[in-house]
Amino acid sequence: MAISGRFFLVALAAVVPIIAVPGPATWLLALGVLLFIVVLDLSLAASPRHVVVRRVIPSGVRLGEQTTAVLRLANESTRPLNAVVKDGWQPSAGASNALQTVRVRPGERAALGVALLPARRGDLLTRHVTIRSFGPLGMAARQQTIEAPGTLRVLPAFHSKRHLPSKLRKLRELDGKAAVQIRGAGTEFDSLRDYVRGDDVRSIDWRATARRRDVVVRTWRPERDRRVVIVLDTSRTSAARIEDETALDTGIEASLLLAVLAERGGDRVSLIAYDRRVRTQVSSTGKGNMLNAMVQGLAPLEPELIELNNQAIPGAVRAVTSHRSLVVLVTSLDAGAAEEGLIPLVASLSQKHVVVVASVRDPAVDAARRDRRTTTLTYRAAAAEHALNRRAAITAVLKQAGASVVDAPPQELPPQLADMYIRLKAAGRL
Amino acid sequence: MSNTEQAFRAESASPAHTMKRWWGKYRFWLICSGAFITLSLLGYFLGTGSGQTAGALSITNPAPAGAQAAASVLRTQGVTVTAADSLAAATAALDANGPGTSTVLFYDPKNLLSSAQVASLSLRAEKAGAAIVAITPAPLAVKGLSAEISSSGTTAGTPTVAPQCTQPDAVAAGMIDGSAGNNGKGPLHLYKGVQTCFMPSGTAGTAGGYLAGNGTGSVVVLGNAGIISNQNLANRGNAALAFRLLGDSPNLIWYTASVKDIPVADQPPTLAEFTPEWIFPASAWLLLVAVLGMLWKGRRNGPLVAEPLPVIVKSSETLTGRARLYQDARAVETAIQTLRQAALTRLARTLRLGNAAPPAAVAEAAAAATGRKQLDVHALLLGAAPTSEKDMLSMAAELAALEEEVAQR
């Protein structure tokens, strides 16, 4: 049960007769009138127990985009429903009009659109719908909460999509390009064409030239159908917030850009989100839209407060593909975690695969290194130098073990990782 | 996808189930409020339920200043003790008891009765043939009781006093307490009458005594209220004096003057008489309206919705921690070594000397590149570590300046 502001005003107005005719009789009469109003209105209100709720929730929305979840109400009672309806979305769903007024005649239906502007990635929940049904006087209401769970999946924002056109152009430039320096085993023969000035003389196909009586060069195209395995670390180190987002979010952005790029480049992409068990696994070998499958799989990921199980990662990669592939480890280069597990992991992986380690670099550390205005800040600068030194040492060891390292601030990591992929592809190292 | 056209309805719970859920939800507060109410009621009834009062010389007060002891002893001896708290009640009791069967104990510690009222009491008692025992009456009241008795001031008291007179009750009592009346508080009154007894030593014959009576013995004034209090009743001859004075006749009217004796016109007007008639009902109504307002605004549209928050840790936490450790330990040397090492590494890279270049060579190259003195640069990069934080600060700034200079070259 609930009362309205109108009822409150009526009760307030009753003070006038009480002042005009003081006495217990007036007082009790006023109280009686109020009670009568409440009982009358409650008994004439449509029962919210006879309202049936149905939900229509969009299958997914990108973070930062607006969407509408529809709430359908069917009034199965014999009285007109005059209600205030509250949809119980969690706060980060950003329901701006979760509280709505609705009138439904007996036996009819109504649809309410709840505008949602999610503030967080992941599965956002609504658990219930609360119906406050007012009587014809609008004074008192019967209230009922109906359990009506619903889930809205908020997909990663994929801001790094804006880098995609330029990276794709770079990738296309590889296509049909004469392989100038590298004639290694990795590149595939594409076609023959006439020699133009500037082509590498080493790529002249002498046999074809003899046939054509004109100088002909071989062209190469980058290999296709190579394997790219992205291993996304969701362990405790991914919970670190760098600038505006967690390391995991940056990792997701970088993985998405790389996956889309590699798929357009004709490679087969697999993604594993891993800490101590596989959180999400997506492969482009299956049919359907790879990007959609990936964002759906990545959306509910959250950093887990557990240590990464480094020993199990080679097994997880082997489960995805038995071929030689490009393994991209999106993880953290922080001292401690890296020293214990990452270095042996990279050493063992690089025996069979091409390994890239991608890590988010905190620009705050670089800023702290330079700021030496006070004693406290100088100590801080020393601590920053220490951290950077350790990071550089780990990077050096990883490079020695045969891996490439991409260590960049959050905004830079996705494009730099894409550049690394293009570079490796151009070099025929895949 | 996911057009979840599933229909949700309110679950049809039985009243018993609803009650059970309510109990589960509000159990703590229900038990707390129940315990609070029980304890308050218990405290109230324990405090007042046994009919005890807290007034001085009240016959229902078992405290040291009360007089329950004297009253109950008298009752066991067959005296009917009746408490009266107003003049009207006392005279009504006098009339009810019939002539010559009553003793009136008159006690007016706050001096509420006017002398006319005291005189009327005296008159009515005389008519009914009742004796009056007045405990510490004020000077004017004494006059009203009997013209033969007068007040003769107060005294600080002595430990004991002897009767020093022929009044039979006083003689029978012998020595009584000469002090510690009212538990040592309040004055001890002295009176002079036809018979004056218990004169404190040193004031013999002139100043009056604790006990004074008129010629017929129908009015007796007692200047020491402590004699009949619970605390002192058992001391010396106190009990004998009290019981002989009070237990003389079959009925004892224990009259303690109270606010009821003040004439209505003399009472100050209450606040209610100044305020208009509608104030109380209107304010009570507004109170009710305020509660309604709280119910209106305080009722939530459904239960609170929780937000499951993911774990997010600020990335530079460890950096800040290490910096604080350095500072707390005043690790000047460690800090400057770290800064120097980092500067040397970067200088070596900028000057293209390779990672393995010896520090001295880097310092030399840096000096050559900037045109600074070899010795200065060497001291800055490889010299003795500073000892104070101030030196460290300037050295750190110099290192940064050197790096910048080399980089700009």
Nearest-CB residue to B314 (from A150, A241, A305):
A241
* Shortest CA distance from B310: residue in chain A: A302
Please say if the pLDDT value at position B292 is more than 70: yes
Residue, of B5 and B192, whose pLDDT is higher: B192
Q: Which of B193, B227, B261 delimits the end of a domain?
A: B261
Is B228 part of any domain?
yes
Q: How far is CA A114 from CA A88, A153, A271, B6, B9, in A?
A: 11, 15, 34, 18, 19
Q: Are residues B109 and B254 in the same domain?
A: yes
Residue B155 and residue B236 in one domain? yes
Of B19-23, B168-172, B200-204, B347-351, the one with minimum mean pLDDT is B200-204
Class of domain A225-426: alpha beta
Residue A88 phi/psi, 5-degree rounding, is -85, 60
- B361 part of a folded domain: yes
Interface test with B, best of A55, A379, A389, A400 (most B CBs within 10 A): A379
Out of B277, B306, B396, the one facing A372 most closely (by C-beta) is: B396
Q: Is B293 an interface residue toward A (CB < 8 Å)?
A: yes
**Which ipTM score applies to this complex?**
0.75
Domain boundary, last residue among B232, B261, B290: B261
Query: Are B100 and B248 part of one and the same domain?
Result: yes
From chain B residues 334-363, the ones with a CB under 8 A of any chain A CB are 334-336, 338-339, 341-342, 345
B288 vs A240: CA distance, rounded Å: 54
User: Taking CA atoms, what residue in A is nearest to B393?
Assistant: A375
Say if B203 falls within a structural domain. Answer: yes
Structural domain includes residue B150? yes
Residue B332 domain-assigned?
yes
A116 in contact with B, Cβ within 8 Å: no
pLDDT interval class at B74 (50, 70, 90): confident
Q: What percent of chain B clears pLDDT 70, i.e. is strictly above it?
A: 92
List the one residue out of A422, A423, A62, A424 whose CA is nearest residue A261: A422
pLDDT at B59 (0 to 100): 81
What band does B222 get if pLDDT is binned at 50, 70 and 90? confident
Q: In 3D, which of B191, B189, B226, B184 has the Cα closest to residue B208?
A: B191
Which among B368, B358, B354, B380 is positioned nearest to B409, based on CA atoms?
A: B368
Q: Do B295 and A376 touch (CB under 8 A)?
A: no
DSSP A303: -
Segments of chain A assigned to CATH 2.60.40.10: 48-155
Helix H or strand E segment including B21: helix B15-48
Give dist(CA B284, CA A171) in Å, integer.
Answer: 82
Per cent of chain B over pLDDT 90 is 25
Q: What residue spans in chain A does CATH classification 3.40.50.410 cover?
A: 225-426
Q: Mean pLDDT over residues B93-104, rounded? A: 82
Q: What is the CATH T-level fold of the domain A48-155, as seen in this structure?
A: Immunoglobulin-like (2.60.40)
B266 to chain A, closest Cα gap in Å? 28
State the 10-residue block means of pLDDT for chain A, 430 residues long.
93 93 90 95 93 92 93 93 94 92 93 94 93 94 92 92 92 64 51 81 85 82 82 92 91 94 88 92 76 90 90 91 92 76 90 94 92 92 93 91 93 95 83
pLDDT of B55 reads 75
Number of folded domains that form chain B: 2
Domain boundary among B235, B261, B287: B261
B276 part of a folded domain: no
Which residues in chain B have Cβ-Cβ distances shorter than 8 Å to A15? 282, 285-286, 289
Q: Are residues B171 and B87 in the same domain?
A: yes
Q: Among partner residues A18, A86, A368, which is closest to B302 by beta-carbon distance? A: A86
Q: Is residue B298 part of a domain?
A: no
pLDDT score of B267: 65
Search chain B and give the residue with CA nearest A303. B311
Both B240 and B132 in a single domain? yes
Phi-psi region of B111 (alpha: psi -120 to 50; beta: other; left: phi over 0): left
Q: What is the DSSP letter of B364?
A: H
Tell me how far apart the alpha carbons of residues A410 and B312 are, in angstroms, rounded to a whole number: 16
On whether residue B25 sits in a domain, the answer given is no
Residues 6+ apart with CB under 8 A from B68: B58, B59, B60, B61, B62, B230
Range of the domain at B137: 68-261
**What is the DSSP annotation of A68-84?**
EEEEEEEE-SSS-EEEE
Distance from CA of A338 to the nearest CA of B (A): 15
Residues in a beta bridge with A141: A2, A134
Query: Using an 8 Å Cβ cutoff, are A204 and A294 in contact?
Result: no
pLDDT for A188 equals 62
Residues A298 and A255: their CA atoms lie apart, in Å, by 10
